[in-house]
Structure 1
Amino acid sequence: MTHTYQITGLTCSGCQNKVQSLLSQIKDVQSVDISLAEGTADITMSQHVQTKTLQDALKDYPKYQLSEAPHSHHSMSMEMDAENQSWLATYKPILLIFAYILTIAVIAGNAMDHGFMTMTAMRVFMSGFFLVFSFFKLLNLQGFADSYSMYDIVAKKFRAWGYIYAFVELGLGLAFTLDIAPFAVNAITFVVMTVSLVGVLQSVLNKRKIQCACLGAVFNLPMSTVTIVEDALMIAMSGVVLLGVL
């Protein structure tokens, strides 16, 4: 069952992610979809959760006030409209970023006298990936950390990891750019992205409707197989390089 509630006090995506994280931790709450523009939250529950329980989850943040909204039952037609939204329109930002990074990587791989250099192209791609994605995370570090803690297996238990992770990506991007310690850098990439993928897989398989934190809190991208492919691609590239070094 899904019910809609009014929420006041939401002023930015950081607020949105914070409230979403708090409400998602309540027993029997399966997913939380918050509209910042409308000030509403669509909460899907395995069984009914009292409004008082939802309000108590926000009690440490008094500026966020939750109340019941008229016609709180989320209609089937609204759900169908959301599901029918253009896939291309939803993922346009991340697709454009991948296209730009891939183009630069291909150009770099061809800029050699010995034919196409696959390893060079992969290194440039990974460099661009981490630098661009860390940039978006650092635009709203708190918002990213709030969103990331909703599904990452490490950030759930150690919230500071969300803040650290953005700088880990930045460091990896710079290391790939400068071609520093290839084995160590690719090994770190393999481990970090594998751990990240576990949380993504859990969320997608459990069909949790939460925001993907890959582009920080700047774009409201839903968690989906696109996120799985993104992480898996980086794991595969780093794995190939590690095998080549060995």
Structure 2
Amino acid sequence: MKTTKQFRTNLRCGSCVATVEPYLNRTLGVDRWKIDVASADKTLTVDGDASTESVKDAVAQAGYQILGEIAAPSAPAVAERPADAPTATTYFPLLLLVAFLVGVVALVEVRVGDFDWGRAMGNFMGAFFLAFAFFKLLDLRGFADNYGSYDVVARRVPAYGYVYPFIELALGAAYVTGFQPAATNFATLVVMSVSSVGVIQSLLNKRKIRCACLGTVFNLPMSTVTLVEDGLMVAMAAFALIAGGHSL
């Protein structure tokens, strides 16, 4: 039975909330949650069918404490104030980065003087993976914790969250150098297809969680934009394989 529970905590700041976020996100039975650090009780409100013990364990794993349970409100508190719908401004960092990558690829093609779709696509994919790996590596532990809250592999094998940025780094280097194009495209197809499964599950379950695509540097919400990002890489890799396995 889905209920709304409230707890007193010692989560006193936004940094505390960011730390506990991945642990609550991957707790079974937690549909939605929020923390009011401005309240006297530093109230944690959880909506779903998670047990009190599982919520306590999740907060404890992050290094904080549940100080006690508050009497349940008469109506689900989480639903009283819906989150604002994401806008283009929300995703400005991501859109700006993609625009820069497209611009760099275009300049390379202008310099070569003979536009080639295969080469341009390979250079874009390489730059994409290198740039996204960079942001993830700025806070590897934070990324791994956040990624493990929704990725189907990292959720079961936490170490995968630490390895994933290096997979992107390797794929980026492979695309830029033209190393084994067919194998590189196939690896991209598999890795990004698997990654998109967790994104799809989160969207279908309407989970309000942070997207880990740019690590923890930017607070980007999970949305269809994330799915489009993964889907684009899958589509480009598949196209390159069908076209003959080359990307440069």
Question: TM-score w.r.t. structure 2 length?
Answer: 0.82
Q: Percent identical across equivalent pairs? A: 41
**Kept in 2: contact 1:4–1:43 (CA 8 A):** yes
Corresponding residue for residue 104 of structure 1: 104
Corresponding residue for residue 145 of structure 1: 144
Corresponding residue for residue 10 of structure 2: 8
**Kept in 2: contact 1:127–1:174 (CA 8 A):** yes
C-alpha RMSD over aligned residues: 2.9
What is the alpha-carbon distance in structure 1 between the residues aligned to residue 107 and residue 36 of structure 2?
41
Corresponding residue for residue 44 of structure 1: 47
Stretch moving more, 208-217 or 236-245: 236-245
Q: How many residues align?
A: 238
Look up the SS of the partner of 2:243 in the other structure: helix
The 3 A distance-change label for structure 1 pair 10 and 236 is farther
Question: TM-score w.r.t. structure 1 length?
Answer: 0.83
Q: Displacement, 1:170?
A: 0.9
Q: Displacement, 1:112?
A: 3.0
Give structure 2 stretches of 5+ with no counterpart: none
What is the alpha-carbon distance in structure 1 between the residues aligned to residue 10 and residue 146 of structure 2?
19
Q: Displacement, 1:128?
A: 1.3
Corresponding residue for residue 31 of structure 1: 32
Q: 1:1-246 maps to which residues of 2 (within 5 A)?
A: 5=7, 7-8=9-10, 16=17, 18-33=19-34, 41-45=44-48, 47=49, 49-50=51-52, 53-60=54-61, 63-67=63-67, 74=77, 78-79=81-82, 82-84=83-85, 87-114=87-114, 116-245=115-244
What is the alpha-carbon distance in structure 2 between the residues aligned to residue 124 and residue 225 of structure 1?
25
Q: Displacement, 1:230?
A: 0.3
What is the alpha-carbon distance in structure 2 between the residues aligned to residue 218 and residue 97 of structure 1?
13
* Deviations 1:48-67, CA, capped at 9 Å, x for gaps: 754x5522433455x40234
Q: Displacement, 1:240?
A: 1.3
What is the alpha-carbon distance in structure 1 between the residues aligned to residue 55 and residue 154 of structure 2?
23
What is the alpha-carbon distance in structure 1 between the residues aligned to residue 108 and residue 215 of structure 2?
27
* Deviations 1:63-101, CA, capped at 9 Å, x for gaps: 40234579976375632xx325x6022111101111111
Q: Displacement, 1:156?
A: 0.8
What is the alpha-carbon distance in structure 1 between the residues aligned to residue 131 and residue 65 of structure 2?
35
The 3 A distance-change label for structure 1 pair 70 and 107 is farther
Give structure 1 stretches of 5+ with no counterpart: none
What is the alpha-carbon distance in structure 2 between the residues aligned to residue 36 and residue 145 of structure 1?
25
Q: Displacement, 1:37?
A: 8.8
What is the alpha-carbon distance in structure 2 between the residues aligned to residue 174 and residue 36 of structure 1?
43
